[in-house]
Amino acid sequence: MQPSKRAQLAVFFTVLVDLLGFGIVIPLLPLYAKTLSTNPSEWMAWVNQALGLQSPGAFWAGTAFVSFSVMQFLATPVLGRLSDLVGRRPVLWISLLGSALGYLVLAMTGRFEWVLAARILDGITGGNISVAQAAMADITPAKDRSKAMGLIGAGFGVGFVIGPFLGGTLATSHLGLRLASSHGWSLPFLVAAGLSLLASVMVIAWLPETLSADARKAARQEETRGHALVLALERPGMPQLLAITLLAMTGFAMMEGTYSLLVNQRFNFGQREVGYLFGFIGILIVLYQGGLVRVVAKRVPERYALLSGLVLMMVFMPFLPYAPWKWPFLLIMVPLAWGSGMNNTAASALASQLTPAADQGGLFGVLNAASGIGRILGPGLGTFVFARWGYAASYWVASAVLGGAVILALTLPRKAALHEEA
């Protein structure tokens, strides 16, 4: 096997194992935070009363999401640029260790304040996907970037298939119930901590440094040129892509942050059922990122793939709170998941083609920071609207936000001056 192929597989498996832990946590976190918030401290009770919340648990579940996203937003560009200067491997390793520690704290606490502390810690070190994307870009020619980013997307998908199923099963297993009742520990979150620790070991054992010494030297020489965000905004087409990424993630994260609460309220689903539903979404992501993305990349220009993905999400988002269980509800998830995959893969490919090798880490740091702002705004806005006006309103607002991204996508140049690399 060629060294570049081995490196691609190493990045894929590292992302896969890391995302298994993430896939375990995300579906269960809203219900976990909601349960802990039923016994609020004095300051939480004051906030509940001041905001006039009908469903305070939804608001605090959103706060748990937002605390992670705020710190991830602040840290991701730093981690991405740091990887340009010192290499991808050490930054990826340290960030995975931070995630492991954050999950461990989350697993062993019984207070909402410690949930916030755990999510803040994980957010600071949680920008590792941008580093993995930069590593993949290092070893992939520009013409093959959509396929390579699809491989990372497949790692996301597999993690979101196995992770939620595993989390739902562990939470209601005999051992999980015994640990929760006797010690107040969460078995799914303990397993997530172990998986992130395993991913850090895989980085050391499997992943070679993908950024050449010359590229690191060039990055250090260019450090005086300015912040990574300034460099990205100077490139034609990048301002639109960053704004689209922000709006698309805001709209999608409004669904992501309220999905567990939606099915809990509409169908009375618990941790096991929520885990299985997220696993179904992961299967859809795998089908797209693991196979359909290759067909789309060959036949559909990135600009049109991005626009199509946004339209699919915008159109089908408002149907979700009304669709009856079972098949109508599940079928609506298909265009939502595939639309998100089309948009994300195309945006990453377009952005990487606009940026030289020495700036790839900074680019993906900025791109993921824009996505991070969306992960701040989306769950916060979604859960607040949910708590104040009901679940259906969240999905109508999400559709409107995605409509803004569609309008911006129409302004993208039909043919960008792409930066070609050998």
128 domain residue, yes or no: yes
93 domain residue, yes or no: yes
The confidence score (pLDDT) of residue 236 equals: 61
417 domain residue, yes or no: no
pLDDT digits (tens, 9 = 90+) for 391-412: 888 899 999 999 998 998 888 7
- Global confidence as pTM: 0.66
418 domain residue, yes or no: no
The confidence score (pLDDT) of residue 216 equals: 59
Task: Give alpha helix (H) positions in 109-186.
Answer: 112-124, 128-138, 145-171, 174-182
* Per-residue DSSP letter, 289: I
Structural domain harbouring 233: 3-409
Mean pLDDT, all residues of the chain: 78
How many domains are there within the chain?
1
421 domain residue, yes or no: no
Q: What is the Rg, in whole angstroms, of the alpha carbon atoms belonging to the chain?
A: 20
Averaged pLDDT for residues 87-109: 86
381 domain residue, yes or no: yes
110 domain residue, yes or no: yes
78 domain residue, yes or no: yes
Most confident range, picked from 127-136, 156-165, 335-344, 390-399: 390-399
Q: How many residues does the chain have?
A: 422
Contact indicator for 56, 40 with CB cutoff of 8 Å: yes
CATH number, domain containing residue 232: 1.20.1250.20
User: Any idea of the CA torsion for 104, 110, 116, 122, to the nearest 10 degrees?
Assistant: 10
* Residue 87 φ/ψ region, left for φ over 0, alpha for ψ in the -120 to 50 degree band, beta for the rest: left
pLDDT digits (tens, 9 = 90+) for 217-230: 665 555 444 455 55
Is the pLDDT higher at 253 or at 14?
253
Stated as kind and residue range, the H or E segment containing 311 is helix 302-316
Residue reference for tokens 């859960």: 383
Tokens of 13: 């498996």
